[in-house]
Chain A
Amino acid sequence: MNRRQVLKTIGLMPIISACTPTGRTGAGNILATTSQIGDIVQQLIGDTAAHSTLIRTGLDPHTYKATQSDLQRFNDARLILYNGLNLEASLERVLTQMPESIRVASLADAFEPSELLTSEDGNAIDPHIWFDIGLWRRAVAFVANVLQETDATLKSVINQRLPIYDGELVALKDELTAQIDQIPPARRILITAHDAFGYFGRAYGFEVMGIQGLSTATEAGIQDMSQLADVIVMRQVPAVFIESTVSPKTIEALQAAVIARGGNVALGGELYSDSLGDINTPAASYVGMLRHNVQTIVSALKGDA
């Protein structure tokens, strides 16, 4: 081909690709953004239909940026489930502009604004809804609905599994509440790298504080660090916690600040905040993740009760 022909072909490619229909019905992937949502799909339909998760475990959805191959995965999906409430901050714009042929559903639509927590200044809604089992059961029901609407062949398997899983979640709530009762109320102070555990605090009676705000993209100020260090010293908080998706640097700096004040605080362990655990770990499922978190928190905070 001479140069002209090559240039013409290259020039026509965008037009050609735009004419190709994207998205399918009846075939195609069910794509979840976070591993938590991916777990819902897994629990509801197992291997009945193809599904996958976009944001690998251990990665931070607040700062996750889509690559070209991710965009391809969006285009190959027939249903995309995402958390919303600005959790997947840099993905939301892409997701809300997907073509009509691809169903996109946000878990945020399962809730009324009044049920959700807001940030201190009231400007942002806390997206970490999965830590409230009550809210999560509603999310599971919502996803079940969306799945059935997208693919009627899934109805039977969902109708079979949904009640069982829902029951599991109810039982889990009781189990975890009993565990947390081991922690005297005075010691129920949960300090982590960012404000991910607001719903957890509301559900189980914890005071929750984070070094960074609702999103890991924010930056903490010195006053925030100092205040936290003071709280830890004054109320003798036994432990603070790192998160699997956030650099431990800020928590370690907090610990150093506490020690400099003559206090002491242990690193209570690693919590899963914005993601589940890796496959082949107990925290690879939602249920397992909550159990791991509560176990870690309880053993660090309960003291010698």
Chain B
Amino acid sequence: MIDSVLFVIGIAAVLIGGVSGALGTVMVLRKRSLLGDAIAHATLPGVAIAYLLFGKNPLMLVIGASVAGIIGVALVVLITNTTRLRTDVVMGMMLAVFFGVGMVLLTYIQKLPTTGQAGLMSFVFGQAAAVVWDDVVLLLVFGLPIIGIVMLAWPVVHAFCFDQAWLQARGLSGFAVDIVVMFLISVIVALGLPMVGALLMSALLIAPAVAARQWATSMSGMMFLAAIIGASCGIAGAYVSATFERIPTGPTIVLLCVFIALLSLVIAPRWRAMVNRGAV
């Protein structure tokens, strides 16, 4: 009989880790790793505004976070395309500005005449222990279709990551695909906030993909492996948090992902060298 808390949080962790790993692959291959961090930080004002408008409704908070993430990134795209600033510069600025605005709003919210906290700060740092079955349902309803979309439109995603110019020559707007990808990332980031918080979410997007990159020879293989790694670290992190006292779940998952990434970076080249020597 599995502990119900571990069960619920474990499933959530597997879903978040798996989908983040898969989507993170797209980001890492397109060399836009900062994007995940930018989106995660941008969600904060969205959470605050959603709370101001709709109260503690978890669905609206997720939607608010997604919308804010997408607006932030759209602004980055706009500014990058109309000025001569580089993408990473604009992303860094947007990340800081949005997060700052979010913190200002949260501080403002704490001054409002309503007793009791919304627990909004938990969106910054995560509070995995508070994840309940309703959160898992949200993940299933919004997270699984993300994977479905990627699999369905695989030729588009694959070509987009590898050779955007070719895709554009074939008549598809790279800009449109970019927006869709960023929207999907915003959604998964918003869904991951209760578990790991805005500050750590980008690690969950990037680390499994970085790890998978060391082993995979194709993008589909990399995405699959990244999803597996993310999901495994998710369940492992939940298990560790369930076995030892005072171990927070979210940070543990992230640490495991980063550990696997570092391990892969160190081991994979040596492994390949050994294989090559052995094969020859």
Contacts and interface: CB of A to CB of B under 8 A. Distances in A.
Let me know if chains A and B touch directly in the complex, using CB atoms closer than 8 Å: yes
Interface of A: 56-60, 63-65, 67, 211, 213, 217-227, 229, 244-250, 252-253, 256-257, 260-261, 277-278
B118 A211 contact: no
27 contacts: A57-B115, A58-B115, A60-B117, A65-B107, A65-B110, A219-B249, A221-B244, A221-B249, A222-B129, A224-B129, A225-B5, A226-B5, A227-B245, A229-B5, A244-B115, A247-B56, A247-B122, A247-B130, A248-B116, A252-B132, A253-B5, A253-B130, A253-B131, A260-B7, A260-B8, A277-B115, A278-B115
Nearest to B197: A219
Interface string B242-260: 1111111111000000000
Most buried by B among A219, A221, A224: A221
B37 to A, nearest CB: 20
B5 A59 contact: no
Contacts of A218: 248
A226 B110 contact: no
A67 B250 CA distance: 29
Most central of B119, B128, B129, B238 by chain A CB within 10 Å? B129
A224 B114 CA distance: 30
A100 to B, nearest CB: 29
B161 interface: no
B6 interface: yes
B117 A253 contact: no
Contact of B244 (A64, A223, A249): A223
A221 B10 CA distance: 12
A249 B119 contact: yes
A34 to B, nearest CB: 14
B4 A221 contact: no
Given A219-B125, A244-B116, A260-B7, 17 more contacts: A58-B116, A58-B117, A60-B117, A65-B110, A211-B129, A219-B248, A220-B248, A221-B242, A221-B246, A222-B6, A223-B246, A245-B116, A246-B117, A247-B119, A249-B130, A253-B5, A260-B4
Contact of A67 (B107, B117, B241, B248): B107
A266 B122 CA distance: 25
A249 B116 CA distance: 12
Contacts, number: 114
Nearest to B118: A247
A245 B243 CA distance: 29
Looking at B5, B116, B132, the one whose CB has the most chain A CB atoms below 10 A away is B5
B5 A257 contact: yes
Given A58-B115, A65-B107, A244-B116, A213 B9 contact: no
A211 B127 CA distance: 11
Nearest to B244: A223
Instruction: Give the bracket for the number of chain B residues in contact with chain A.
Output: 35 or more
A222 B242 contact: yes
Nearest to B106: A65
A57 B114 CA distance: 9
Contact of B129 (A59, A60, A253, A260): A253
B127 A250 contact: yes
B130 A213 contact: no
B104 to A, nearest CB: 9
Interface centre among A65, A67, A225, A250, by most chain B C-beta atoms within 10 angstroms, is A225
A63 B5 contact: no
B11 to A, nearest CB: 12
Interface string B111-155: 101111111011001111111110000000000000000000000
A219 B115 contact: no
Contact of A250 (B113, B121, B129, B250): B129
A250 B117 contact: no
Contacts of B242: 221-223, 226
A245 B130 CA distance: 16
Question: Which interface residue of B107, B113, B121, B246 has the most chain A CB atoms within 10 A?
Answer: B246
Please indicate which of the listed interface residues A217, A218, A222, A256 has the most CB atoms of chain B within 10 Å of its own CB: A222
Interface string B31-67: 0000000000000000000000000100000000000
A-B complex: 5 closest residue pairs judged by Cβ atoms: A247-B119, A260-B4, A58-B115, A219-B248, A220-B129
Contacts of A253: 5, 129-132
